[in-house]
Structure formats: structure tokens, C-alpha cells
């Protein structure tokens, strides 16, 4: 078979669906071209029993270096929000729609690039498998990329944020991405809205 690297993640899925097997298999995924320049796959983390699954966009610079989701600046906003919404960390499985860092080099810096629709689709089998194993009650959709992956291309976060929507056996609540809080002209206002959406998710169960 000629490998063009663009067939998506499905062919890399392990036979056995458990989190360790998934993480090991994802480490050598070549389902799209993003694996070529990123340091490593950043897979989801958290207990299998978690009632909440939080889905971000893709690992950032820090996540790519350290190998864990949401350990950079956006992660600090997220941690604060979870704590203030009363969502316990050990009740949370944290992952991303796309599992490799997409960037363009600028001098020594690596500038975050939004993943393409094709990359989001290519990586979807990993997210689907995580959902199948963890079976969360509540899915918190962090920003437009996660929404595209989970709720389809016509879903608009700005119009439907904070609203519970059925998603499989679970209920999803979308909100803005925590890095959008950091970029907002009025950070306090943006954070308050983000927190209100997390509180809406926390009230579901």
C-alpha cells in the first residue's frame, strides 16, 4: 500500500479498546501529516471513570514539549475554571480534538496554527475511541475545533454556548476555548462567560 499519510487515524487503532492500548497506539499514529513536525502525540489523560470529558483543540507548544494536555497558559485558565465551577480534577478526562501540535516556525518560535477540517476529521477516530471507553456523562466542548469534531460543521459556539445538547449517551455543553479568554480585549468578562458555561455543565449531573 502506498502511504500518503492522509488516510486518517482509523487504521492505527488497536484491537483492544482500553486507554493504555489507545495511548500506545496513538503514539505512532501517522493518520495525517501533523506527526511529521510535532514532537509527540499528546493523548488524553484522566480516569476511565471520569464523568466529565473536556475536549480542547490540539496540544500547544508546552503540551507538545511535555507530552500532557493543557499544561500551558490555557491550561491554567481551565484549571481555575474547573475549580471555581466545582468540577473535581479526578472526575475529569481531558483531551483534544487533534492530538499533534500544528504550528508554523517563525525564527525560534513555533506559532500555533489552527488544524484544518481534514486534520480534525483524520484525528476523530481517537476521540471517538476515548468516548467509547470513558463514556462520560457530560462532554465540555472547548472552542470551535472541538465543536467541529463533535457537533458538526454547522454548530456555532457563539450562538449555543452554555446550552446542554444531547450527544450520544452524553450531554454536551460548548464554550469558548480557554486561550480565547487570554486573547480577549476584556479578559475578566471573557473569563466570567467561560466560567458560567462550565457551571452550566457542572449542573447537568
- Which parts of this chain interact with ligand URA (CB under 6 A)? 56-60, 63, 69-70, 72, 74-75, 96, 179
- Cα(104)–Cα(53) distance, rounded to whole angstroms? 29
Question: Which residue's Cβ lies closest to ligand URA?
Answer: 56
Burial of 44: CB neighbours in 10 Å, binned 0-12, 13-18, 19+: buried
Q: Which one, 2 or 144, has the nearer CB to ligand URA? A: 144
The interface partner of residue 96, options being ligand URA, ligand SF4, none and the CB cut-off 5 to 8 Å by kind, is: ligand URA
Helix 19-26 with 117-134: angle, nearest 10 deg: 160
CB of 26 to ligand URA, least distance (A): 14
Q: Which one, 57 or 197, has the nearer CB to ligand SF4? A: 57
Alpha helices in 141-186 (DSSP H): 144-151, 157-160, 178-183
Q: Which one, 69 or 125, has the nearer CB to ligand URA? A: 69
First to last CA, the chain: 47
Which of 7, 14, 21, 30 forms a contact with ligand SF4 (CB under 6 A)? Answer: 30
Q: Which one, 1 or 94, has the nearer CB to ligand URA? A: 94
Burial of 159: CB neighbours in 10 Å, binned 0-12, 13-18, 19+: exposed
9 lines the binding site for ligand SF4 (CB under 6 A): yes
- Cα(26)–Cα(12) distance, rounded to whole angstroms? 7
Which of 13, 19, 25, 32 forms a contact with ligand SF4 (CB under 6 A)? Answer: 32
DSSP, res 158 = H
Q: Interface residues for ligand SF4 in 71-110 (CB under 6 A)?
A: 98-100
148 lines the binding site for ligand SF4 (CB under 6 A): no
Amino acid at each position: 500500500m502506498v502511504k500518503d499519510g492522509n488516510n486518517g487515524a482509523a487504521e492505527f487503532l488497536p484491537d483492544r479498546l482500553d486507554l493504555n492500548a489507545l495511548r500506545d497506539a496513538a503514539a505512532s499514529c501517522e493518520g495525517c501529516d501533523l506527526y511529521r513536525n510535532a514532537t509527540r502525540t499528546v493523548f488524553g489523560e484522566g480516569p476511565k471513570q471520569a464523568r466529565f470529558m473536556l475536549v480542547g483543540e490540539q496540544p500547544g507548544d508546552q503540551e507538545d514539549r511535555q507530552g500532557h494536555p493543557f499544561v500551558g497558559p490555557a491550561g491554567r485558565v481551565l484549571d481555575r475554571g474547573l475549580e471555581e465551577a466545582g468540577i473535581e480534577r479526578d472526575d475529569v478526562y481531558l483531551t483534544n480534538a487533534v492530538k499533534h501540535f500544528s504550528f508554523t516556525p517563525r525564527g525560534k518560535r513555533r506559532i500555533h496554527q489552527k488544524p484544518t477540517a481534514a486534520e480534525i476529521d483524520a484525528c476523530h477516530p481517537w476521540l471517538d475511541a476515548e468516548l467509547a471507553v470513558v463514556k462520560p456523562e457530560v462532554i465540555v466542548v472547548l472552542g470551535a475545533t472541538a465543536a467541529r469534531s463533535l457537533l458538526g460543521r454547522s454548530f456555532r459556539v457563539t450562538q449555543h454556548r452554555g446550552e446542554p445538547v444531547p450527544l450520544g449517551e452524553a450531554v454536551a455543553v460548548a464554550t469558548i476555548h480557554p486561550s480565547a479568554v487570554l486573547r480577549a480585549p476584556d479578559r475578566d468578562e471573557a473569563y466570567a462567560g467561560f466560567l458560567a458555561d462550565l457551571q452550566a455543565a457542572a449542573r447537568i449531573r
